[in-house]
Amino acid sequence: MVEKRTPVPVGEAVHRLSTQNVSGKTELIPLEQSFGRILAEDIYASHDVPAFDRSPYDGFAVRAADTQNASQDEPVRFKVVGEIGAGSLFTGEVKPLQAVRIMTGAPIPAGCDAVVMLELTKEISRDEIEIKRAFPQGANISRQGEDTKKGTVLVRRGMTINPGAVALLATFGYRHVKVAVKPLIGILATGSELVDVDEPLTPGKIRNSNAYMLIAQIERAGGKAVYFGKLDDEFEACLKAVKQALTEVDFLVISGGVSVGDYDYVPAILQEIKASVLFNKVGMRPGSVTTAATVGEKLIFGLSGNPSACYVGFELFVRPMIRKALLADKLHLRKVQAVLGTDFPKPNPFMRFVRARLSHQAEKLVAAPSGKDKSGIVSSLGETDCFIVLPSGTRGYEKGMVVDVLLLEDDEGSEWPWNDIVRSYK
């Protein structure tokens, strides 16, 4: 008996998932370990930058008024009354026709309102210099707060911490940073045809590549993978493994066993553990048999055993939920537009996701398939950095058309990519 399943559109399937309650957790980690993590709080400037008026150059701090009559022919002579290295202070008050030697970054001494660069001064003796032109009030002074005012939001919650964000966190004294805890994502590979990576291939068998691929996809998405091993297509053993795994992880991803064949036990297991099935067929290629279900607060994903369908199913459905657990503000793959690099003459009855690679031609993005695009095909996956989205319809697509692509190597994401997919009929 072939079970009848009704395919739901991709956007509807993602919607059913992304409206599920997923409670992300946060933790404090040392700043030097924060690169690549997702920030769990807005970061404010805790003080002005610069925190004080300072010199952007090596030179002499003076009173601007004293330079007003200086010229090439009639230089003005100043008495050098002190020296300020970066990080030190001049404690006195500078008086008329006095100058203080100042280093880049050092605070402007009281009384001074201009800095004259070293190369525009002439050393007369150990404590005398000459200046040969006038400087206006404020010349060569970096003003307190001119970069950033105290209280400004610098980095938003939900952002992936990059080196620039680390610099900001250090500047404002964040020795520890509040980040999202990486959710634990379990992996179970099912299929009696699977041998593990270190086992010899015997007739009729294939190697278990999905589990290792999923480990990497989970890491790329920001989660932490826990691999529970591979299982033969045996109901009791699979049921037991699923139950056990669910006690240890936040989400469970099962590869294989999701279809309607005699050896596909995932539907029966979901029934047995009283999971609520959100969808079990999606109007897309590859990956139409993708299943998602909830048991309490935990999510279970049933992905196709086929490597390409597994890959696509993960990125469209599992990744956004990992991002949600990570408190990211944009859960979905980043959608941009690109020019189609090749023809797709066949119309698609369902929305199609073509594993593709982006290239740049002048200022335009071009997307072309990264290899053969049969869903069984693994050899193109290594080159894949995006999916071309080809909506269903009665006509094919032509080279040069503008299409939507979903970026796979991107931390920014999209809020909701599933409206207004480019149809691109000429």
User: Site residues for a copy of itself, window 34-73 (CB under 8 A)?
Assistant: 34-36, 45, 47, 49-52, 56, 58
Q: Is 254 helix (H, G, I), strand (E, B) or coil?
A: strand
Of 366, 400, 372, 405, nearest in space to 387 by CA: 405
Of 310, 112, 71, nearest in space to 210 by CA: 310
Cβ closest to a copy of itself, residue 56 vs residue 136: 56
Q: What values do phi and psi take at 328, rounded to 5?
A: -65, 150
Query: Smallest distance from the beta carbon of 152 to a copy of itself, in angstroms?
Result: 7
- Binds a copy of itself (CB under 8 A): choice among 62, 94, 106, 299: 106
DSSP conformation letters of 63-110: -GGGGTT--SSS-EEEEEEEEE-TT----S---TTEEEEE-TTPBPPT
Query: Smallest distance from the beta carbon of 200 to a copy of itself, in angstroms?
Result: 8
* Site membership for a copy of itself, residue 348 (CB under 8 A): no
* Site membership for a copy of itself, residue 380 (CB under 8 A): yes
Cβ closest to a copy of itself, residue 78 vs residue 311: 311
x/- letters, 394..413, toward a copy of itself (CB under 8 A): --------x------xxx--
Place of tokens 């979903």: 406
- Binds a copy of itself (CB under 8 A): choice among 6, 125, 126, 163: 163
Query: Smallest distance from the beta carbon of 190 to a copy of itself, in angstroms?
Result: 10
Residues 205-264 that bind a copy of itself (CB under 8 A): 205-217, 219-220, 225, 227, 232-233, 259-263
Burial class (CB in 10 A: 0-12, 13-18, 19+), 12: middle
* Site membership for a copy of itself, residue 29 (CB under 8 A): no
Of 155, 180, 146, 198, nearest in space to 29 by CA: 180
- Interior/surface letters 79-118, b for 16+ CB within 10 angstroms, e for the rest: ebbbebeeeeebeeebeeebbbbbbebbbbbebbbbbbee
* Site membership for a copy of itself, residue 387 (CB under 8 A): no
Query: Smallest distance from the beta carbon of 171 to a copy of itself, in angstroms?
Result: 4
* Site membership for a copy of itself, residue 269 (CB under 8 A): no
Cβ closest to a copy of itself, residue 27 vs residue 146: 146
Query: Smallest distance from the beta carbon of 176 to a copy of itself, in angstroms?
Result: 9
* Site membership for a copy of itself, residue 132 (CB under 8 A): no
Query: Smallest distance from the beta carbon of 297 to a copy of itself, in angstroms?
Result: 26
Bridge-based pairing of strands 224-231 and 176-180 is: unpaired
Cβ closest to a copy of itself, residue 295 vs residue 336: 336
Residues 289-328 that bind a copy of itself (CB under 8 A): 305-307, 311
Cβ closest to a copy of itself, residue 25 vs residue 35: 35
In contact, 282 and 290? CB cutoff 8 Å: yes
Cβ closest to a copy of itself, residue 222 vs residue 294: 222
Length of the chain counted residue by residue: 426
- Binds a copy of itself (CB under 8 A): choice among 69, 137, 152, 276: 152
CA distance 307 to 312: 9
Query: Smallest distance from the beta carbon of 294 to a copy of itself, in angstroms?
Result: 25
Q: What share of the chain is helix, strand, coil (3-state, %, to 5)?
A: 20, 30, 50
Query: Smallest distance from the beta carbon of 413 to a copy of itself, in angstroms?
Result: 13
Residues 355-374 that bind a copy of itself (CB under 8 A): 355, 360, 362-365, 372, 374
Q: What number of chain residues touch a copy of itself (CB under 8 A)? A: 112
CA distance 29 to 33: 7
Residues 179-208 that bind a copy of itself (CB under 8 A): 191-194, 197-198, 201, 203-208
- Binds a copy of itself (CB under 8 A): choice among 97, 132, 134, 172: 172
Edge-to-edge strand list for the sheet holding 224-231: 224-231, 184-190, 251-255, 298-303, 291-295, 276-279
* Site membership for a copy of itself, residue 376 (CB under 8 A): yes
Cβ closest to a copy of itself, residue 195 vs residue 295: 195
Query: Smallest distance from the beta carbon of 299 to a copy of itself, in angstroms?
Result: 20
- Interior/surface letters 243-271, b for 16+ CB within 10 angstroms, e for the rest: eebbeebbbbbbbbbbbeeeebbbbebbe
- Chain-centroid distance of CA 237 in Å reads 38
129 beta partners: 78, 123
